[in-house]
Structure 1
Amino acid sequence: MTAPEYGRGFALMREAAGEAWGDYTRHAFVEGLKDGTLPREAFLHYLRQDYVFLVHFSRAWALAVVKSETYEEMLSAVGTVNSLISEEMKLHVGICEAAGIPQDELFATPERPENLAYTRFVLEAGYSGDLLDLLAALAPCVMGYGEIGARLAKEKTSEVYADWIATYSGEVAQGDCAAVGQLLESALIHRLGEDYANSPRFATLCDKFRKATELEVSFWQMGLTR
């Protein structure tokens, strides 16, 4: 299927990521979600780690407010923080509680090295750089899950993980992807100009995007190996 349209800046970074993007969005873990063959224990292990990830991811998006230079950038970052906390984390809590894992236990999940590496990479991108550095590290997760959700909604052959797929293919998640794509595009133009793709810095941002994508691959693999 054709990938969803999340903006020119994202499309260019996605292309520059090369094979890493396919390794991420079509990982065996993802295909197991599609056909229902992913073991439930692997899924719950992933959800617990992903909940911890989202705690740090929300903090990184809060940092995007600090790094913003316009009101529109601040508003977009705040909207994403709200969506992460009120929608995505809520999904994890609901599924885990149904499996007998209460929220306080979920929040206290020990962080795996793969999780630690990814979340600290994202936060460091924000601490040491500007909004563009942070967005390049954040974008693979946001838009990657949106792309995965949209594809799996069309291709799924099982209802085992229908709730997860519906969340990331749904109107709210897809709207978030479009909003982040628009934020990335406007931030690139604001800081690098209309011809940002030919800016020497754009290659550096693409490299950061690719590294974050590779960390997503490791995160899926962690879910399988537990």
Structure 2
Amino acid sequence: MSTPFERLKQSCAAEWRAYCEHEFVRQLGAGTLPMEAFQHYLKQDYLFLVHFGRAWGLAVYKSRDIGQLRQSLDSLKAIIDVELDLHVKYCGEWGISEAQLAQLEESRATLAYTRYVLETGNRGDILDLHVALAPCIVGYAEIGNWLVDQRFTVRLDNPYGAWIDMYTSKEFQQAAQAEVDWINAQMADISDKRFQELARIFSEATRLEADFWQMGLTLQN
């Protein structure tokens, strides 16, 4: 029997595949993605992480018990205290300074996805917010694993090898699995109507994630 999270993915199978197997991802795995496309993606991903932190701050507010509160706070601290610093350092390796990051304007794709997540969390509960964030957290873990299994993926001397390593790392995979487990537990006894509400959120967030890849591939602002 499928888990609730598997059912979410099955409810938008075409959208999920279009996101996880996007041309941006394929070129990244093959090492053929233009440097300018990856740099554009990295810049916008910095802005996304800032709003990702805001989303976990919202999750702190939306928490209903001490367990949820601690989990949300830990995620918020991980983004603000660890991941943002790591991202800034990684951007520096690609010739993007912290000063440049501070002056960036958000692309339409960044605006669309981040504001959708925040608006979903504001109008709904903490489960709505987690489901809106799941395509990012869980999707990147699945994309990393998918790339490792593809014959076209280049592991030796791939300029994007560190990116693949990041999302196939034990730490990230464990974090993604923990998110899946949490969502499965929260969705265990929901009604069909509630499932359809969450499936719509998941589908829309997945499409917006695919648009984020497209933004990077075509250098859209």
- Output the TM-score relative to the length of structure 1: 0.88
Say which of 133, 138, 147 aligns to 1:143: 138
* 2: CA distance, partners of 1:165 / 1:104: 26
Structure 1 equivalent of residue 185 of structure 2: 186
Does structure 2 conserve the Cα–Cα contact (< 8 Å) formed by 1:56 and 1:119? yes
- State the shift of 1:70 in Å: 2.0
1:222 — aligned with what? 215
User: Which secondary structure state, in structure 2, belongs to the residue aligned with residue 82 of structure 1?
Assistant: helix
Q: 1:82, 1:162 → 2: CA distance?
A: 27
How many angstroms apart in 2 are the aligned matches of 1:89 and 1:177? 18
**In the alignment, what sits opposite 1:201?**
194
Q: Does the Cα contact within 8 Å between 1:76 and 1:180 map onto a contact in 2? A: no
Identical amino acids, percent of aligned pairs: 42
One of 38, 43, 47 as aligned partner of 2:38: 43
- Counterpart residue number, 1:4: none
CA distance in 1, matches of 2:6, 2:86: 28
Q: Distance in 2 between the 1:93 and 1:154 partners?
A: 29
Q: Tell me, what secondary structure is at the counterpart of 2:187?
A: helix
Contact 1:54/1:84 (<8 A) preserved? yes
Letter in 2 for 1:162: G
Task: Give, in angstroms, the shift of residue 157 of structure 1.
Answer: 1.5
List alignment gaps of at least 5 residues for structure 2. none
Where 1:109 maps in the other structure, the secondary structure is: coil
Q: Is the 1:51–1:107 Cα contact (8 Å) retained in structure 2?
A: no
1:3 corresponds to which residue? none
User: Hey, what does 2:203 align to over in structure 1?
Assistant: 210
Output the CA distance in 2 between the equivalents of 1:176 and 1:183. 11
Q: Would you identify which runs of 4 or more consecutive aligned residues in structure 1 move more than 6 Å?
A: none
Alpha-carbon offset, residue 8 of structure 1: 2.4
Q: Which runs of 5+ in 1 are unaligned?
A: 1-6
Query: What is the CA-CA distance between 1:95 and the residue it aligns to?
Result: 2.4
- How many residues are matched? 214
How far apart, in 1, do the equivalents of 2:71 and 2:52 lie? 15
Per-residue deviation, residues 142-161 of structure 1 (Å, max 9, x unmatched): 10001011222343324221
Indicate the residue corresponding to 2:154 in structure 1: 157
Q: How far does the alpha carbon of each residue in 1:137-196 deviate from its partner, in whole angstroms, 9 at most, with x for none? A: 11111100010112223433242211111111101111110111122123334xxx3xx2
Q: How far did residue 79 of structure 1 move?
A: 2.6
Establish whether residue 103 from structure 1 lines up as the match of residue 102 from structure 2: no
Per-residue CA distance 1:7-60 (angstroms, 9 max, x = gap): 922211111112000000000000011110001110010000011011001110
What does the per-residue CA deviation read over 1:108-133, in whole Å, with 9 as the maximum and x for residues that have no partner? 21100111011000000011111121
User: In the superposition, relative to structure 1, how do residues 108 and 183 fare at CA in structure 2: closer, same or farther (>3 Å)?
Assistant: farther
SS at match of 2:29: helix
Give the direction of change, closer, same or farther, for the CA distance of 1:85–1:154 in structure 2 (3 Å limit): farther
Amino acid at match of 2:102: F
The verdict on how the C-alpha distance between 1:81 and 1:8 changes in structure 2, with shifts beyond 3 A counting, is farther
